[in-house]
Structure 1
Amino acid sequence: MSVLTDNRTYALLAAGQAGDAVICAIPVRTVTECLDDVGFPKQNRWIFSVIKAASAVGLLSVRRYPALARLTTLMLTVYFVLAVGAHVRARDFGRNAAAATTLLAIYGALTVKGPADVRSSR
């Protein structure tokens, strides 16, 4: 089994999204600085903790609802396309842009491969 199709990969990424939801809700200084750098409006920042919490649930659904997990990876791919675009528009090519680009590649690859349960049901 490939790392990209392994349910443990989805669980690990779900933990990362859940942790990110928490730090977006607080918000910690690095999140605030990142959103300031790309010019995201302060009054709309609450949405990030909701998006990240929902994506954690979607990723965790991989065993019971693999198609939902795959839809979640697709939506996270779209999210990170937008994030990378925001960094490029703001000419912010530092560590936050690198992280968004890396996550874009990961979620894009997960979307293409799909979880093990979806692949075996074809």
Structure 2
Amino acid sequence: MSIIPDPWWPSAALALVVLVDALLTAYPPKFVRDCLDGVHFPREWWWVLVVVKLLAVAGLVVGLWWPGVALAANVGVIAYFVCAAVAHVRARFTGQTFWVNCVGMLVLSVAALVLAFGPA
């Protein structure tokens, strides 16, 4: 297993998607507000999610050249969405938003990890 993503594009694609997700969290449309309210995440802490997502984007991008950074960032993104899935299940907020957004992002994150860092 390489600690530099090979191919590079799954890490870059995940970085782009997480960047869009961070922007949607910073300026949340109704479905994002409903999601965060649905899991009872305090509004005064929403900014932390933006910071975490932007740090993940930075790690995924820097990791295209710096060994191990994209791998760590990708694992961190997976951990983030596992925690989000647990929050959804605990809050019993498992409607369409959960399946499309939360589980969809988790699947995308795992796919990026397998494609970029899996066996050759």
Q: TM-score range by the shorter chain?
A: 0.7 to 0.9
Q: Which residue of 1 aligns with 2:45?
A: 44
> Which ranges in structure 2 are unaligned for 5 or more consecutive residues?
none
TM-score normalized with structure 2 length: 0.81
Secondary structure of the residue aligned to 1:58 is: helix
RMSD, aligned α-carbons: 2.3
User: Is the 8 Å Cα contact of residues 11 and 116 (structure 2) preserved in structure 1?
Assistant: no
Q: Which residue of 2 aligns with 1:7?
A: 8
Q: Which residue of 2 aligns with 1:21?
A: 22
Q: Which residue of 2 aligns with 1:103?
A: 105
> Which ranges in structure 1 are unaligned for 5 or more consecutive residues?
none
Q: Distance in 1 between matches of 2:98 and 2:6?
A: 26
Q: Distance in 1 between matches of 2:67 and 2:114?
A: 13
Q: Distance in 2 between matches of 1:61 and 1:115?
A: 15
User: Is the 8 Å Cα contact of residues 14 and 112 (structure 2) preserved in structure 1?
Assistant: no
Q: Which residue of 1 aligns with 2:33?
A: 32
Question: Bigger CA drift: 107-116 or 30-39?
Answer: 107-116
Q: 1:23 to 1:86 in 2, by over 3 A?
A: same
Tell me the number of residue pairs that the alignment of Structure 1 and Structure 2 aligns: 115
Q: Distance in 2 between matches of 1:109 and 1:7?
A: 13
- In percent, how many aligned pairs have the same letter? 30
Q: Give 1:30 shift.
A: 1.7
Q: Give 1:88 shift.
A: 0.5
Q: 1:108 to 1:9 in 2, by over 3 A?
A: closer
